[in-house]
Chains A and B, each alone.
Chain A
Amino acid sequence: MELPRYHRLRGALYRLEGSACHACDARAFPARATCAACGARDAAPFAFSGRGTLWSFARVAQAPRGFASVAPYAVGMVRLAEGPLVTAQLADVEGVDLAIGMEMEMTTRKIRDAQENGFIVYGYKFRPSLRPAAQAGPMPQTSAAPVSGPAPRGGGA
Chain B
Amino acid sequence: MRDVVIIGIGQTAVGEHWDRSIRDLAAEAIAKARADAGVERADVLYVGNMASGALCGQENLGTLVGDAAGLLPIEAVKIEAACASGGAAVRAAWLAVAGGTHDYALAVGVEKMTDLLTDGVTSALATAADADYEAGHGVSFVALNAMLMRRYMHEHGARREEFAPLAVLAHANAAHNPHALYRQPITAAEFAASPLVADPIGILDSAAICDGAAAVLLAPASEARRTRRPAVRIAASTCVTDTVGLAQRRDPLVWEAVGAGARRAYTEAKVGPRDIDLFELHDAFTIVSALALEACGFADRGHALKLAAEGRLARDGDLPICTLGGLKGRGHPVGASGAYQIVEVAQQLRGEAGAAQVKGARTGMAQSVGGSGSVAVTHILQV
Contacts and interface: CB of A to CB of B under 8 A. Distances in A.
Contacts of A89: 137-139
Interface residues of A, number: 44
Contacts of B250: 148-150
Most chain B Cβ neighbours within 10 Å, of A77, A85, A87, A155: A87
Given A64-B123, A85-B252, A151 B243 contact: yes
Contact of A111 (B120, B138, B249): B138
Contacts of B144: 87
Interface in B12-42: none
Given A61-B199, A76-B147, A86-B133, 7 more contacts: A57-B147, A61-B198, A62-B118, A87-B139, A150-B242, A151-B243, A157-B267
A73 B143 CA distance: 11
A38 interface: no
A5 interface: yes
A63 B140 contact: yes
A81 interface: no
A153 B143 CA distance: 28
Interface in B116-144: 118-120, 122-123, 126, 131-140, 142-144
B138 A60 contact: yes
Interface in B228-245: 240, 242-243, 245
B303 interface: no
Interface of B: 118-120, 122-123, 126, 131-140, 142-144, 146-148, 150-151, 154, 195-201, 240, 242-243, 245-250, 252, 256, 260, 263-264, 266-267
Contact of A58 (B143, B154, B256): B143
Given A30-B133, A148-B250, A149-B250, A61 B197 contact: yes
Contacts of A64: 119, 122-123, 126, 135, 138, 140
Question: Which applies to chain B's interface (DSSP): helix, strand, loop or mixed?
Answer: helix
Nearest to B201: A58
Given A58-B150, A77-B147, A85-B247, A112 B138 contact: yes
Contacts of B197: 61-62
B247 A86 contact: yes
A148 B248 contact: yes
A5 B133 CA distance: 12
Contacts of B122: 62-65
10 contacts: A1-B131, A30-B245, A58-B146, A60-B143, A61-B198, A65-B119, A100-B150, A100-B151, A156-B264, A157-B264
A75 B129 CA distance: 15
A46 interface: no
Given A64-B126, A100-B151, A157-B267, A58 B119 contact: no
Given A61-B196, A85-B252, A5 B132 contact: yes
B248 A1 contact: no
A8 B195 CA distance: 38
Contact of B198 (A62, A66, A155): A62
A5 B263 CA distance: 39
Contacts of B118: 62
A155 B241 CA distance: 11
Nearest to B117: A65
Most chain B Cβ neighbours within 10 Å, of A56, A60, A65, A151: A56
Contacts of B131: 1
B193 to A, nearest CB: 15
Interface pairs A-B: 5 shortest CB-CB: A58-B146, A157-B264, A85-B247, A67-B138, A56-B151
Most chain B Cβ neighbours within 10 Å, of A57, A150, A157: A157
Nearest to B262: A157
Contact of A87 (B123, B126, B133, B142): B133
A36 to B, nearest CB: 7
Contact of A63 (B119, B146, B248): B119
Contacts of A128: none
Interface string A87-119: 111000000000010000000000110000000
Contacts of B148: 56
A84 to B, nearest CB: 7
A40 interface: no
B140 A59 contact: no
A61 B206 CA distance: 14
B137 A88 contact: yes
Contacts of A57: 147, 150
A68 interface: yes
B249 A59 contact: no
A123 interface: yes
A12 B263 CA distance: 37
B236 to A, nearest CB: 10
A150 B151 contact: no
Nearest to A100: B154
A9 interface: yes
Most chain A Cβ neighbours within 10 Å, of B131, B260, B266: B260
